[in-house]
Amino acid sequence: MLLKGRTWRFGDDIDTDAIIPARYLNTTDPEELAGHCMEDADRDFVKKINSGDIIVAGKNFGCGSSREHAPIAIKAAGISCVIAKSFARIFFRNSFNMGLPILECAEASEEIKEGDEVEIDLGKGEIRDLTGGKTFFARPVPPFMQSLVEAGGLMEWVKRAR
């Protein structure tokens, strides 16, 4: 599975309240949640991004709450993948369950610059920084997890499998 987009950088310990503040959790509508994605970290984020763009962050991305609204908001905003040094565990699980691919890669997290054009091959775990001219390797996303992403999440996958 190939993904391509421009990157937006964030720091360490980006928490779920920054990704989608709890004041908006009185809805589960993906479009409405997307409108507030990353709002408390970067107020204009959703205005600036294009569909397919990629978030590059530091360690412990998605720490805090178990709210699935966080990966829902990111995915519905049009972000195709999140690359980070590490992810909080509930966020990691929720992302694949929602069909949002995420990759752990310390080198890519450090070296990719904001605005770089990046191409990702999920099956190979390959992250190609086309602007920076460098390729990074994350642990490949196993076929099962790729099929979750392709199906659009765990529940869709379950339905197809039945």
Partner 1 sequence: MAMTITEKILAAHTGRDEVSPGELIQADVDIALGNDITAPIAINEFRKAGAKKVFDRDKIALIPDHFTPNKDIKSAEHSKVLRDFAREHRITNYFEDGEVGVEHALLPEQGIVLPGDLIIGADSHTCTYGALGAFSTGVGSTDLAAAMITGKAWFKVPETIKFIFSGKLNKWVSGKDLILFTIGKIGVDGALYRSMEFSGETIENLSMESRLALCNMAIEAGAKNGIIVPDDVTRAYVEKRAKRPFKFYKSDEDAGYTDIIEFDTKTIEPQVAFPHLPENTRNISDVGDISIDQVVIGSCTNGRMEDLRVAAGILKGNKVAPYVRLIIIPATPAIYRAAMEEGLFKIFLDSKAIISPPTCGPCLGGHMGILAAGERAVSTTNRNFVGRMGHPESEVYLSNPAVAAASAVKGRIASPEEVMTR
In this chain, which of 6, 9, 93, 134 binds partner 1, going by CB under 8 A? 93
In this chain, which of 34, 37, 45, 68 binds partner 1, going by CB under 8 A? 68
Closest C-alpha among 93, 78, 74 to residue 33: 74
Residue 17, SS3?
A: helix
- CB distance 109 to 58 below 8 Å: yes
- Which residue lies nearer to partner 1 by CB, 41 or 106? 41
Question: Which amino acid makes up residue 59?
Answer: K
- CB distance 115 to 55 below 8 Å: no
In this chain, which of 1, 40, 78, 119 binds partner 1, going by CB under 8 A? 40
Nearest-angstrom CA–CA distance, 60 and 85: 7
- Which residue lies nearer to partner 1 by CB, 130 or 155? 155
Interaction site with partner 1 (CB under 8 A): 13, 15, 17-18, 21-23, 25-28, 39-41, 59-60, 63-69, 86, 88-90, 93-94, 97-98, 153-155, 158-159
